[in-house]
Amino acid sequence: MLKEANTKMIPLGLEQMLLRGSMQRNTAWVHAVVVYTGHETKLMKNSTKAPLKRSSIDKQTNTQILMLFMILLVLSVISAGFNELWLSRRAGTDWYISLHGAQNAKFGYNFLTFLILYNNLIPISLQVTAEIVRFFQAKFISMDSEMYHAATDTPAQARTSNLNEELGMVKYIFSDKTGTLTANVMEFHKCSIAEIMYNRPGPNESFEDTPLYQNLKRQHPSAAVIREFLTMLAICHTVIPERQDGKINYHAASPDERALVLGAAMYGYVFSARTPGAVAVDAGGTTLTYQVLNVIEFTSARKRMSLLVRTPTGEIKLYCKGADSVIYPRLAGGPEHAKYAEATLAHLEAFACDGLRTLVNGLTRITKRL
């Protein structure tokens, strides 16, 4: 905690933490305290010694070479033994071939002699040949047009050629819902508002022709609920807008929040600005400024995010978004008495069957004076 001169204590929490590699935007200056440096950083604390990566062919080759070396030693010992036995029997009878010099040689000398004679049993050039083959395999991988990603101009890159043989040898696949095995690109597809299901505009369809936009402009009985829904998508988040060349780029902590903001902008509710105490939304040419009274961030324990704001008309509203398992138990009067709860739950099940990630939005008005 920091303490100003003769004033109050200022707490430092996770909201003020800038992790390694983070980028600060839309901020002219900051007071910073550097903590957890050097070997105390999370990266250094979690770092371990890099393991030695070897392919299955390397392991088999090393085992076979070790076996061949053991066979070489056994053959050399047997040959040296039989050499001693043969010399002891022939030295006295076969005097004409001058075996006296050979008989004086020791067993170790004979063992080394046979070890040199049989050394071709060890494939010394095998490792060199394998490394040359792997080198050219890595070059072929980097030149493979089917592994080239044109969107980012990134070819395949074999950082180490030791594991080329392991490509395609897949036994198990573990998947989850966080985009680890996918491109992790989130898009706004469908929504359920006031018991009516809406789809996003098609590739050749204007958003003005969509049922959601028509119900909003024609003052459908659910138009007020649609406005609240789009307003919530546009303000209940921690996205930072950045203007570049007349366009707004959104920087979000997760692709989910960015997709929701773009979904609201698709129907005319454009999140345009954020200040420490307010957010601005461009709704059909009208700029609406909402005063942010409090933000309760999303956590894995709460499974929801809450935003308390003062609307341009002076009302105080609490917007909340999160998983249906935490939103439904908190509905006023329970899920069986809350408005639109039963039909929305049926739509959520339909969305989940389509493989979509679902989110529930809730709203309440604060009548007590703050």
Provide the annotated active-site residues.
176
Asked whether 332 and 364 are in contact (CB, 8 A), the reply is yes
Can you tell me which residue has the tokens 């440096």? 37
Q: How far apart, in whole angstroms, are the C-alpha atoms of residue 304 and residue 223?
A: 25
β-partners of residue 309 are 292, 317
CA-nearest of 298, 295, 227, 296 to 256 is 298
Q: Which residues contact 360 (CB under 8 A, 6 or more apart)?
A: 321, 322, 323, 324, 327, 328, 344, 348
Asked whether 175 and 181 are in contact (CB, 8 A), the reply is yes
Q: What is the DSSP letter of 78?
A: H
Phi, psi (5° rounding) for residue 174? -105, 125
254 half-sphere exposure, CB direction, 13 A CA radius: 10
Q: How far apart, in whole angstroms, are the C-alpha atoms of residue 224 and residue 4?
A: 46
Estimate to the nearest angstrom the gap between the alpha carbon of 27 and the chain centroid. Answer: 28
Q: How far apart, in whole angstroms, are the C-alpha atoms of residue 136 and residue 115?
A: 35
